[in-house]
Chains A and B, each alone.
Chain A
Amino acid sequence: MRSYLRRLARALEREDVRSISRRYFISNGFDGALTSVGVSVGAYLSGIADGLTVFSIGIGAAIGLGTSGVWSVWEIERAEKRAELARIEHAMLSDLDETRIHRQQTGARKVNALMSGIGPIIGVVLPMSPFLFEGTLLSMRAATLASIGVAVAILFTFGAYLARISEQSWLVAGARMGLAGVLVAALNLVLPG
């Protein structure tokens, strides 16, 4: 187990692995946060009176999105990395199975899939957490607003983080990402259903 974790940590040290993992994490985390806004506003407008029920629906969404994140990226990266290895093997005229490059690709794929799955879980579970306090600290309306607030804050953080690595204004990038959460909430309010 320790050597397995060490291999994953070693894969994470490589910039190419970090870069791809970052994209999957942010992209799927973005999906998760916007899904949670849709779930919370939809649940409130549907008249669900119990916060725990809304939280359970959110967890269902997190499981679905998390599984999708891991599974799809596992398959995507498997295909991409096999294609990359085949190109190199063709140029080398030799088999590269069981070589360091092959092992590194496998480690990278695991890290990519893991990060892809963690993104939506964070993106859904944190915004859904205010519903756990419905009935004690918060009303249903307040829990919904708090949920939207947490989702927008997560989106803002994603934007600010992306701005930091690309040397842009964190405030502008964060606001641009956060705006998506507000927009989804507004669309849920105005669109039928």
Chain B
Amino acid sequence: MVTARRLVLDLLKPYKPDIVTVADAVAGIDGITGVNVALVETDKEVQTVKMTVEGDPIQVETVYETLEDLGAAVHSIDEVVCGDHIVEQSTTPQD
């Protein structure tokens, strides 16, 4: 099973369950040490949210399964950090 240290996901979810329930459900997965869910956009029936998960390690498949059970769809994986420690993005001359 693929594991990671940090996962940043762009999610599309129904209004219910709300983001508190979604964050709490993901935070309850073994290995997860923290979850942040931020509302990005609200549409008529659905919400777009950004979810940041950190863990030691994160069982990625379990996170996906939990999100699927909650009715959320992963639109994109915006950031992933794997390995022994968390590596932040480094600045390059292009930045």
Write the residues of chain A forming the contact surface with B, with a CB cutoff of 8 angstroms: 87-88, 90-94, 96, 99-102, 104
**Which of A87, A91, A100 is the most central at the interface, judged by chain B CB atoms within 10 Å of its CB?**
A100
Given contacts A87-B45, A88-B45, is CB(A101)–CB(B73) below 8 Å?
Answer: no
B70 in contact (CB, < 8 A): yes
In the assembled complex, the Cα of A101 lies from the Cα of B15 at a distance in Å of 10
In the assembled complex, the Cα of A99 lies from the Cα of B73 at a distance in Å of 11
Residue of B with least CB distance to A104:
B16
Contacts of A99 in B (CB 8 A): 68-71
Tally of contact residues, B, Cβ under 8 A: 14
A-B contact pairs, 17 of them (CB 8 A): A87-B45, A88-B45, A88-B46, A88-B71, A90-B45, A91-B43, A91-B44, A91-B46, A92-B14, A93-B73, A94-B73, A99-B68, A100-B17, A101-B16, A101-B17, A101-B71, A102-B71
Contacts of B58 in A (CB 8 A): none
Per DSSP, chain A at the interface is helix
Residue of B with least CB distance to A99:
B71
Q: How far is the CB of A90 from chain B (nearest CB, A)?
A: 8
Q: Assess whether B73 is in contact with A92, with CB atoms less than 8 Å apart.
A: yes
